[in-house]
Structure 1
Amino acid sequence: MTIEQPAAAVGSAVPDGANPKDAIGEIDSKNMNRIAFSAFIGTALEWYDFFLFGTASALVFNHLFFVNADPAVAALASFATFGVGFLARPLGAILFGKMGDKYGRRPALILSIVVIGAATGIVGLLPDYFAIGIAAPILLTLLRLFQGVAVGGEWGGATALAIEHAPVEKRGRYAALIQIGSPAGTLLSSGAFALVFMLPTESFDAWGWRLPFLAAFPFLVIALLIRLHVEESPVFKALEEEVDQDHSTQGSLRELFSKYWRQIVIGAAASLTGIGGFFVMSTYALSYGSNVLGLDRQDMVTATMFGAVAQVAINLFFGRFAERVGSARVVVIGGILSAVLAVPLWLLINTGNVFAVGVAIVVGLASVTVPYSVIGVLLGAMFPAHVRYSGMAIAANIAGAISGLLPFLATWMNSFYAEQSTIPAIVILCLISVLTAIGGFVGGKMADKEESA
């Protein structure tokens, strides 16, 4: 059985998704904007959660939840807990991906948003080590696992839903709009932390750090209300009609891993810089700047906020640019750019000058956002509709699982130096950037092949 799909000729200089076999009809701009906004707000909540946790891992959890350890070990333990959420993401991608491919994108996305928001808010209610002892880091890790599983099913489904609704010639801009959820979530979370950093240190450690996490509860209510009013993907509806009562081909993990494992591997490589590069230039940079260089942590968070503003502009520009040159080329350009900038950016950071560090973080976040802006279009074009949710989610979250360990890996590598060094960050950023460039090139070829099949 052949499943018609909105595949994109991403490797060519034509609009992504310009497929004469595309079965998607036009949708009015008002409905499309609502669908894209629903996907955007889910991504924003996802990254609000992850940046909160990343910031707290660097600045809070190490001395409130991992108390019986020297500072270096506490930092490693804190980042390890941060990384646990990423390790859980591939499991979430499998569970939610199968649900989304078999029963619909919409119900899977409603469930994922509820779990993400609830787990994030509950962190704000969690007693610390001084109150309940070893149970505190254990519960924190469990909540992180729940977050990771739910996030594993969020982005792939939200992006699939949006691009399957969007007109083929406009998929780049709508995919980029979803990605703006990342800097939006970063701005909200870093802004929240910037506000609570104004509190006295005693008040911040006692209760102030909890406020940004508790704010996830009202954020969840808004996101859920919007998502409940979004229609199911027309591609999924057409797929259901085609298969009639036989759903055996929908969301088949056996078929996905037997026929499309190469797409998963290449898709993960193409996604690395957009996810891993972000955490190298934000979470690890925060830790390095505050703990190694002795810079004020509020200055570091402020730099990340400016970086998030730059990310919005980069997403918008390259989303439109990809509609002209193809998303695969944008991913390749972004990978190469990030690799080239890795050395000068981290040399700037190592100066310890607040302004230089701020510039490096802003430019670094902008560069890793280039491939991130349109990765959804590329991944969506690499998989047929009946396994698209699963394929996109698993590929992106394998990259996420690797990415979540990068701050831990860089911190561990630095422990081998007599003095703290920027070499680990440079090596890691260069490596993932090169892999992204290769993934973008090969992924574009795969998408072309899938489109012509």
Structure 2
Amino acid sequence: MTTTQAPTPPSAALSAAQARRVAVAALAGTAMEWYDYYLFGLAAALVFNRLYFTTLDPQAAALAAFATFGVGFVARPLGAILFGTLGDRIGRRPTLVLSVVLIGTATALIGLLPDFASIGIAAPVLLVLLRLVQGVAVGGEWSGAMTIAVEHAPARLRNRLAALVQLSSPIATLLSSGAFSLVLLLPAADFDAWGWRVPFLAAIPMLLVAVWLRRRIEESPAFVELVGSGRRARIPVLQVISRAPGRLGIAILVSLLGVGGFYFMNTFLVNFGSGARGLDRQLMVNATLIAAVVQVGVTLLSGRLAERFGPGRVTLWGGLATAAVAFPVFWLVDSRQPVAAVLAVCLGLAAVILAYGVAGPALTMLFPSELRYSGVSLGYNLAAVIGGFLPLLAQASLGWSGNASWGPALLFAVFGLATALGGALAHRIIEPASNAVDPGDSPEPGER
């Protein structure tokens, strides 16, 4: 492993209030990108299996839709390489503007895409291609927004402001699930004909707002310092792999639950409850809305806990909590009771978010500033390659578990334990760096 330092502190001229404004701007742009990305997950569970894979039986169509959903995660490491290189070479700010334009355009085009009945096999092919574009864009989005927010933040506020950026996830969930909840009120024929497209087309005005916000973000002090010192890496991705392979592995473990567990709850469990267990699909979508409100509180709590105990330790707790609730979550859904199903989604997502809420500082503090965008992007998005297929693996597990819920519950628990391990390892590395920072934001070790 390579030696590293905690994120370079901002200059004295940058006040806590300014750092908060940067974090809020990063939050708003990332919420728009996650909105676009989450829409696809909901549509995969509720629409694409019926309108784009119509020649398959229901089980095969569900598998195909979830496979298409997972394709976006395969593309995310490509986005991590592309945007990580750009972010560490030309700057965090212009890279973030490019990523939001790319995903907003792809999402709007999905809303205009004809279905299988209209253009045949071209429909699912184009759907996969647009999902790939989404994946490439998201490959550099979260990592860039988190990097620029943390690099602006005074050390004493780093965990809190990083958790603020993480609110983009529940906000996007509320917007995407809320949009689908509204269009599901339409008659079934209207929903299939045009209603499901409306949330995707809403990406157009949201894109304009996001670009305006991103252009107002200041470049991070850490990157400005890199340019002045001439320390920018020529090929940062290769240097992450050669200089910090162990830290990259830890970053993958830390990210695994936040990426996979979130989509497991908001995509697979929605399909499982409304399909295999016969619950109303409107109820399951509404459950994700209620869980998103819970997510806001847990995200803020995780940031405060990280201030006291460190982000690595809180990640460990979140992973263990997920493993503990994995089977109870499915027992609640198996009961086929509406209140129990809503509680299951809230309980499972709360455990996941306890770990995910502090992923930002946990990852950024693993890598030095010249490799930070690339290191965070690679770790987070390599985890996404595995985690993005968790809904598909869970759907397949129903086959070898005889449609019993212990199959997907076991997978959920394994992901939790993997991230718990990552949190424990991360704590051993980043805690000394955190303790070395005084409340006055003096230079970090290696920067003196």
Match among 68, 71, 89 for residue 84 of structure 1 = 71
User: Is the counterpart of residue 320 in structure 1 residue 307 in structure 2?
Assistant: no
Report if the CA contact (8 A) 1:26-1:167 is conserved.
no
Residues 192-226 of structure 1, C-alpha deviations (whole Å, 9 max, x = no match): 00100000000000000000000111111111101
Match of 2:270 among 270, 274, 286: 286
* Residues 66-105 of structure 1 mapped to structure 2, 5 A cutoff: 66-105=53-92
- Picking from 265, 271, 278, the partner of 2:249 is 265
Q: How far does residue 3 in structure 1 lie from its aligned partner after superposition?
A: 10
Offset at 1:327? 0.8
Amino acid at match of 1:348: L
The residue identity in structure 2 corresponding to 1:441 is A
Whichever residue aligns with residue 122 of structure 2, its letter is A
1:43 Cα shift?
2.2
Unaligned 5+ residue runs, structure 2?
435-444
- SS where residue 382 of structure 1 aligns? coil
Alpha carbons 1:4, 1:22 under 8 Å: kept = no
What is the aligned partner in structure 2 of residue 208 from structure 1?
Answer: 195
Q: Which residue of 2 aligns with 1:239?
A: 226
Matches for 1:290-301 after TM superposition, within 5 Å: 290-301=274-285
Q: Distance in 2 between matches of 1:4 and 1:209?
A: 47
What secondary structure is seen at the aligned counterpart in 2 of 1:367? Answer: helix
2:19 maps to 1:36: no
* Among 408, 420, 435, the residue aligned to 1:425: 408
In structure 2, distance between residues paired with 1:159 and 1:394: 14
Match of 1:161 among 123, 144, 148: 148
Query: When the two structures are superposed, what TM-score results if normalisation uses the length of structure 2?
Result: 0.94
For 2:426 and 2:128, locate their aligned partners in 1 and report how far apart those are by CA, in whole Å.
35
Shift of 1:171: 0.8
Residue in structure 2 matching 1:343, options 323, 327, 331: 327
For the residues of structure 1 that align with 2:10 and 2:214, how far apart are their CA atoms? 24
Paired position in structure 2 for 1:382: 366
Compute the displacement of 1:448 (Å). 4.3
Matched, 1:438 2:421: yes
Aligned residue in 2 for 1:137: 124
Give the residue type in structure 2 aligned to 1:406. Answer: L
Letter in 2 for 1:274: G
The DSSP-based 3-state class of the residue aligned with 1:212 is helix
Opposite residue 79 of structure 1, the aligned amino acid is: F
How far apart, in 1, do the equivalents of 2:327 and 2:13 lie? 46
Tell me how far apart the structure 1 counterparts of residues 374 and 84 of structure 2 sit (CA, whole Å): 4
For 2:73 and 2:299, how far apart are their aligned partners in 1? 23
Amino acid at match of 2:313: R
- Structure 1 counterpart of 2:44, one-letter code: S
Structure-2 change in CA distance of 1:336 and 1:24 (3 Å): farther
1:192 equivalent in structure 2 = 179
Query: Counterpart of 2:41?
Result: 54
CA distance in 2, matches of 1:46, 1:320: 25
Distance 2:3 2:59 in 1: 53
The Cα shift of 1:340 comes to: 0.7
Q: Deviation per CA, 1:324-350: give whole Å up to 9, x if none.
A: 111111111111111111111111111
Normalising to structure 1: TM-score of the pair? Answer: 0.93
> What is the DSSP-based 3-state SS (H/G/I as helix, E as strand, rest coil) of the residue aligned with 1:142?
helix
Equivalent in the alignment of 2:139: 152
Shift of 1:28: 2.5
Structure 2: distance between partners of 1:36 and 1:138: 38
Deviation at 1:30, TM superposition (A): 3.9
Question: How far 1:73 sits from its partner (Å)?
Answer: 0.7
Shift of 1:6: 3.6
Find the aligned partners of 2:345 and 2:381 in 1 and give their Cα distance: 24
The residue type equivalent to 1:267 in the other structure is: A
Q: Which position in structure 2 is the counterpart of 1:408? A: 392
2:115 matches 1:120 = no
Amino acid paired to 1:438 = L
Deviation at 1:44, TM superposition (A): 1.0
Q: Which residue of 1 aligns with 2:438?
A: none
Q: Is the 8 A contact 1:62 1:74 kept in 2?
A: yes
State the alpha-carbon separation in 2 of the partners of residues 54 and 339 from structure 1.
23
SS in 2 for 1:383: coil
Per the TM alignment, residue 256 of structure 1 is displaced from its structure 2 partner at its CA by 1.1
CA distance in 1: counterparts of 2:164 and 2:431, whole angstroms:
24
RMSD over aligned CA atoms reads 1.7
Shift of 1:174: 0.8
Distance 1:145 1:167 in 2: 36
Matched-pair contact (CA < 8 Å) for 2:84–2:237: no
Distance 1:84 1:97 in 2: 20
* Corresponding residue SS for 2:400: coil
Q: Which moved more, 1:406-415 or 1:156-165?
A: 406-415
Greater shift in the superposed pair: 317-326 or 144-153:
317-326
Which secondary structure state, in structure 2, belongs to the residue aligned with residue 414 of structure 1? helix
User: Aligned residues: percent identity?
Assistant: 47
Equivalent residue, structure 1, for 2:215: 228
For residues 53 and 277 of structure 1, what CA distance do their matches in structure 2 show? 16
Q: Contact 2:29–2:213 at 8 Å: present in 1 too? A: no
Aligned-partner Cα distance in 1 for 2:334–2:356: 26
User: Structure 1 residue 277: deviation in Å?
Assistant: 1.1
Using the alignment, how far apart are the partners of 1:169 and 1:370 within structure 2? 20
CA deviation after TM superposition for structure 1 residue 251, in Å: 4.8
